[in-house]
Amino acid sequence: MRDVIFVTADSVRYDFVDAMEFVSTFSQHQGVTGAHYTRPSLASILTASYQGAIESRAMSPTVAEAFSRTGYTTIGLSSSPHTDPRFGFDAGFDVYENYCEAGNRGNPLRQFASQFDLIRKVYHRFRPPHAKLSNRLPDDELIDNAISAFNDESGPRFMWLHMMGTHRPYGLGDDAVPKEIDRKALFAPEKLSEADKKTITQKYRQTLSRADAEIERLVDSVDSSDPLVVFSSDHGDEFGEDGHYFHQPQRRRVVDALTTVPVATNDLSLCDPLSVLDIAPSLLGEVGGEIPAEWHGKDVRETPRDQTLTIAPWHGTTTVAWQDFETKIVSRDADVSMVRNGETVDVERDDVDEDLKQQMRDLGYVE
């Protein structure tokens, strides 16, 4: 059986994949995400299930569990707080590393304000948050660790890794979108100059190029002669469409800029159109594995899907987008639940500890 390498990078839009020279040599497909921001979207990808998006956590059977049952050694690496094991992302992996530490809380006033909703909102009104990647593992180190982890195991191997360098502000130091432009884009986009807008998209394209070089280095460095490689993303980012920038989960937007991502394969023929939920079953079918009956994703190697669903939950409220690739229907403030095996699953707000909340704030999420 062939080794399988599945790479996801944060916030990659389908219409910007040309900035990724190596990935652009792959077969290109347009995928629709299962959700609108990282945790529910990755949960839906790694479980091929809408339940992952509804509950914002990885639900069994996961792709790692399915590959493990097929005889694979499974490896997972991520530097996103959204993929913390407390959300089930480690399920089925023989080796799993989530390189996250508590975020830098900044000054004592911010730490105090974060404990109280009203005080925090007032504080953010006068001291707006901005995204930073300084406490995330850099992509080059993630790739170093991925190469070592892969080469330390015997085949066949399935490896998934999630890269964070492509997340806003798109780099560290001078590589990043300047703080003042980042804040303006998030809170007062109408004040952005044409030069500001150009800076944002330039920084974005540059971070995609850097990520692309790391993906090429990964593929060239693993001790596998003919690995099956797939690249995709959890969601896109907005650059002024409808007056919005980046991805802001609290808005529960499901526009194409956020929900249309690349699905690129080096040696896997897929039918368009497809959902990112179809990646796992198509990979599993390619290596001769049994596709779990619980999965909503389809094996699209020979037959395309005819409709997709994107679920955008945030603190118990949900937007849902259904499309058949000719018509798209969006329902905001939807009451979403799913019945499986006689049990009803509802969208609920997850309670997480303050350390994890702080890591989300450091990535620019506003509650």
Residue 104 burial (CB count, 10 A): 11
Structure tokens that stand for 147 in this block: 């190469």
Which residues, at least 6 apart from 123, have a Cβ–Cβ distance to it below 8 Å?
109, 110, 113
Q: Is residue 339 classed as helix, strand or coil in its secondary structure? A: strand
Q: Is residue 288 part of a domain?
A: yes
pTM of the model: 0.87
Asked whether residue 39 carries a pLDDT value surpassing 60, the answer given is yes
Instruction: Let me know if residue 95 belongs to a domain.
Output: yes
Q: At 184, which CATH number?
A: 3.40.720.10
The answer to the question of residue 332 being in a domain is: yes
pLDDT tens readout for residues 240-288: 989 999 999 989 999 999 999 999 999 999 999 999 999 999 999 999 9
Please report the pLDDT score of residue 316 as a whole number.
Answer: 79
Domain that holds residue 221: 4-362
Whether the Cβ atoms of residue 4 and residue 283 lie closer than 8 Å to each other? yes
Asked if residue 275 is part of any domain, the answer here is yes
d(CA 196, CA 186): 12
Residue 367 in any domain: the answer is no
Is residue 114 domain-resident?
yes
Number of domains into which the chain is organized: 1
